[in-house]
Structure 1
């Protein structure tokens, strides 16, 4: 689990997104910021989330988020309900600025900064207004976009269906006390979750119930989901094992939440910036939990999760690749090369049908993986702006 990154608006496939001009460089000078209403700045401190405007015209918006506080922060663009995550950028360290690019349709939204990456954040209403200057899209780009959206939707739906099936098998084994078999299936089942993690995490009510890590729990938060069961299957010293009825309760709760996720995903459609932001978000998931070994604290099955996040990021990239190749072929080449380099390092850690347990991976190998993730993250951070240019 980590913070969501994928934009999830219900956008009909028949209605293709209208792209505004790319604003990746719009904040390079104060004059540009003032002249471009789609280039916004955000100052996030311990007790404030100051957005340069409370509204913007529809199209490609760029939020340049600067952390002026002393804690790591995040920035969200939420739907009007305050729950649906439209776009997000995370892990903004003190004194650091990062950009979030999103194609925003007219409507009501909520902005939020999360100093310390905890709680509901510091929120404010935000409006996106209909714009007369929204540019059109060429017929060729429309076809490429339609294909990318249809293929990504099919991929996410397929992974969600497989997640339901695999999780049911896992829960049945766990409830029956077949621990060896449940332990073997645990990382395999979770790969379906991890491949679409940014989609799953966009549902702010479901994600904490399903994928919360013990170290991330907030005061008073009930701990359920994958990692609660993980601890019971790989018990640390002094741990008191769950009783059969408790196992049944936690297993059935996990299954209920996975089925709810599947039903919600079935009704989703996507935009190309959602796909691009999702790829970036999945690599951030790797950097924030998998490469550090924090995700699977007891099972040490982090490399299964690592591979699945990379799978999802690569599928998202390959879906929008034909669009990017016509606009920024050098970026496309760089992304291909760095995905391949990262996959080559992951392949070295394969053992049979799975991977080495992360606590057995050498420090030099962990550093090599971390370096490859960082090398890929940089061009991937430019993907959304390239898609929307």
Structure 2
């Protein structure tokens, strides 16, 4: 779930982590000057250096000159997401590489990571992506598309078991089924979020509701039911209706996920987005604030990021072998760290996050940041010639 806000502590940690990332993003662009769009974000502006650029690989060189954490998107005209970079701290820079076809797009900056953002209309000109692409990348996209579809297909029966327990009024059974029902979603969340309309229905937290929405009537999805089960400790008619609605919305996701726009760079950027999800929601304990099943989501996010990386690894290794060595090291370290919180490495029976102390949470946060920094370079590594 894309966080609606950062706590003061999380924001400070994010700024520190992203300042470290900046050091690796100020090197020369691999895509050439005509393909670089400088994006300057302030608290009330989103300035772009050019309104037109060649279709194919484009690089956003982002600088946040505002006082708030921001995020920057390339959007299709219907607001589907081409690519995004979240949690860009004040005074920091980020570089995002994306692949776009010829057509109209919007670049949006979201100071404070809220609302529709400040927008600029841009155009990608020409015939589209490069005519020739490493066939290994095409195979990677096809394999990843199969992976996200499989995750959606496997999620549905688990979600139906969760929904049935809710409708039966069985609180304990519903609690047991809750976290497993979310694993496939968490592994592939950037693809689900790319549609724009599904994530707010199934995975929004109460503080992520849009301005003017009423939690009593407009809040739907997993986290609304999580609150009913763990905090309210009751299941009423409304919760049973929401269980049915969750399945309807997840079936919509299952039907549409195979048609998502997927490119090698969107896979790489999506892997980084999954680490951002961990940094701003799971490590902070904000995502699963009632059930404290954050480590299940955490592991699923890491697994999804690692899957995208493994599919792109062969090409990235040729272009940037040192990066691949570092990513292998950091994925291994983070997975080893997570294993400390479960007795069986083949299970998702993780320690309740409210039992994880501050020092251990910091260790987890440091592990995430150590992986996120090199992972931010993966998209560029799969397009370097």
Q: TM-score, structure 1 length as denominator?
A: 0.87
Q: Alpha carbons of 1:118 and 1:275: their partners in 2 closer, same or farther (altered >3 Å)?
A: same
Separation in structure 2 between the aligned mates of residue 44 and residue 202 of structure 1, nearest angstrom? 22
Query: 1:13-52 residue pairs with structure 2 within 5 A?
Result: 36-52=33-49
Query: What's 2:376 paired with?
Result: 381
The CA distance in 2 between the partners of 1:215 and 1:358, in whole Å, is: 20
Moved more, 35-44 or 279-288: 35-44
* Whole-angstrom distance in 1 between the partners of 2:59 and 2:191: 21
Note the C-alpha offset of 1:271.
Answer: 1.3
Structure 2 residues not aligned, in runs of 5+: 5-22
1:282-331: CA deviations, max 9, x gaps? 11111110111110000000000000000000000000011111211111
Which structure is richer in relative contact order (CA contacts within 8 A, separation 6 or more)? 1
Q: Write the distance in 1 (CA, Å) between the matches of 2:211 and 2:102.
A: 37
Decide which of 77, 98, 102 is 1:106's aligned counterpart: 102
Q: Aligned with 1:388: secondary structure? A: coil
Q: Which region of structure 1 is more displaced relative to structure 2, 350-359 or 71-80?
A: 350-359
Q: Deviations over 1:79-124 (max 9, x none)?
A: 022x100010111111111111101111111111111111111112
Q: Aligned residue pairs: how many? A: 358
How do 1:97-246 and structure 2 match up within 5 A? 97-130=93-126, 137=132, 141-142=134-135, 144-221=136-213, 222-235=218-231, 239=232, 241-243=234-236, 245-246=237-238
Q: Which residue of 1 aligns with 2:353?
A: 358
Q: 1:249 corresponds to which residue?
A: 241
Q: Is the 8 A contact 1:78 1:110 kept in 2?
A: yes
Pairing 1:328-367 to 2, within 5 Å after superposition:
328-352=320-344, 353=347, 354-367=349-362
Aligned residue in 2 for 1:16: none
Consecutive unaligned residues of structure 1, counting only runs of 5 or more, are 5-23
Question: Residue in 2 aligned with 1:8?
Answer: none
Per the normalisation by structure 2, the TM-score is: 0.88
Deviations 1:2-59 (A, max 9, x none): 169xxxxxxxxxxxxxxxxxxx999658xx89x8121111111122111111110112
Superposition RMSD in Å: 2.2
SS of 2:382's equivalent in the other structure is helix
User: In terms of mean alpha carbon deviation, does 40-49 or 222-231 score higher?
Assistant: 40-49
The answer to whether the Cα contact below 8 Å between 1:72 and 1:115 also exists between their aligned partners in 2 is: yes
- Which residue of structure 1 aligns with residue 55 of structure 2? 58
The equivalent of 1:263 in structure 2 is: 255
Alignment-derived partner of residue 93 in structure 1: 89
Q: 1:26, 1:97 → 2: CA distance?
A: 7
In terms of mean alpha carbon deviation, does 293-302 or 264-273 score higher?
Answer: 264-273
SS of structure 2 residue aligned to 1:112? strand
